Amino acid sequence: MTLVALALGLIGPVAGAAPVAAADRVPPTAIGFPPLTTFYGRGWGHGVGMSQHGARGRALAGQDAATILAHYYTGTTTGLKDPATTVRVLLLDGFKATADKPLVVHGRGGAWSIEGVRATFPANARLTLAPVGAGSTTYHLRVVSAGGTQLYASLRSSGVNLLPGSAAATLQLDSKGSTYDTYRGRLRIRLTTSIRVIDDLGLDAYLRGTVPAEMPASWPAEALKAQSIASRSYAVYRLHPSDGQFDLYDDTRTQVYRGVEVEAATSDAAIAATAGVVLKSGAAVANAMYHSTGGGATENNEFVFVSPTGAVVATPVSYLRGSPDRAPDGSAYDAASPNATWTTAAYSRAALDAIFDSDPRTAAGTGIRLDLSRRGVSGRLIAVTLTGSLGSKTVSGDVFRSVFNAHKPSADPEMRSTLVDTRPIP
């Protein structure tokens, strides 16, 4: 999942906030580039909240879901949310239908209907929506059977709601253009000069298409339970039923939702075993952020969601505290992750000057030196100062990482997190 601080509601004033010194294992660094420079890193993702690979490692070590969650979300308690609570997920936006390329939906697995229409349509019947003319907000709606017989036709503007007729019935949004395109719940189709499609379904039904998209269903049961509770809390934190048309995206802007095709018996069992359980901080549902691989440590939220220039602007969240994520023998719980440790390619001084001069935020000229001393409790970069022939530029650790990734040779490995240095990180 990729997350934006503003969307998470984490931005706010923090009086007297200052970055902490780097962890002992990542000493402050201020360097000029040697003849060849390689960046060494640990982890993948922002590093806040639960490390998914860390949760897997903890489960394999015998920890249950409650113990796993207590480590990653300090001081939280559990509460209950009705598993049938409606979640609104944006599936498709800005779709430009034409007569030759209409929006297409199929009913699957059982009968289905259109809200406000008395007719019921059989499984595999096909609905299409095409504008009456270029730029029109009025659409021809047609439903035909699997054999091609027209079952219904009308003109529509504003919207169309499609309803499955039973628990076994689903709706396939063919126009999604993905192998993951079949959904539980009601599809709300909003019509303007383009088409928006939103899935309205129950909270735990939504999790059936989210948990196995975010964590492999083959992972240990206790890790899947921890993911279920984290994903449920993450979703509930973002519900705003009286405002806007949808609550969540179906991609990494919030958390990934792939619908029916990704559902699995093991993740379904974890969701059922934790039905309705959410994490709470006081009376409020917690913003249970998570990421793929912590690299042996997680980070305070305020040192990750900083301004583009690395200013600490986010309010510290009591349960999103960074800490070491290591077993008693010192090994990282996420050591089995393919991103537990990583390196970039080796670059000449001139190549690195060119990479960072390709973006005005980091363009400091030639002979660039780096100040890598501003780090959080995990060693992740809060800010980086680049000094060269044109002066100095200071950017957040994530801007530094993203500029490098955008302008390095495309075949070269990426910086996968901001837990990075110019020498190996233990």
Which pLDDT tens digit goes with each residue over 365-395? Answer: 999 999 999 999 999 999 999 999 999 999 9
Beta-bridged to residue 285, according to DSSP, are 280
Share of residues in the chain with pLDDT > 70 (%): 92
Phi, psi of 96 (to 5 degrees): -100, 90
Which pLDDT tens digit goes with each residue over 70-123? Answer: 999 999 999 999 999 999 999 999 999 999 999 999 999 999 999 999 999 999
Strands 30-32 and 290-291, bridge-based pairing: unpaired
SS3 269: helix
Higher pLDDT, 35 or 128: 128
357 has a pLDDT exceeding 80:
yes
Which pLDDT tens digit goes with each residue over 195-244? Answer: 999 999 999 999 999 999 999 999 999 999 999 999 999 999 999 999 99
The residue-averaged pLDDT of 151-159 equals 96
Confidence at 15, pLDDT banded by 50, 70, 90: very low
d(CA 70, CA 84): 26
pLDDT at 20: 40
pLDDT at 16: 32
Which pLDDT tens digit goes with each residue over 274-322? Answer: 999 999 999 999 999 999 999 999 999 999 999 999 999 999 999 999 9
Beta-bridged to residue 157, according to DSSP, are 138
Cα-Cα end-to-end distance for the chain: 26
d(CA 187, CA 204): 17
Higher pLDDT, 16 or 48: 48
Please state the domain extents for the chain.
Answer: 5-47+304-421, 50-84+205-288, 97-193
Q: Do 59 and 217 contact (CB within 8 A), yes or no? A: no
28 has a pLDDT exceeding 70:
no
19 has a pLDDT exceeding 50:
no
pLDDT at 377: 98
- Helix 221-237, helix 65-72: angle, nearest 10: 50
Q: What is the H or E stretch that residue 199 is in? A: strand 195-202
Mean of the per-residue pLDDT values of the chain: 93
pLDDT at 33: 60
What are 93's two structure tokens? 């936006």
Q: Taking the CA of residue 53 as centre, how many other CA atoms within 13 Å lie in the half-sphere pointing to its CB?
A: 23
Q: Do 404 and 415 contact (CB within 8 A), yes or no? A: yes
CA distances from 154 to 9, 114, 140, 414 (A): 43, 12, 6, 52
pLDDT at 397: 98
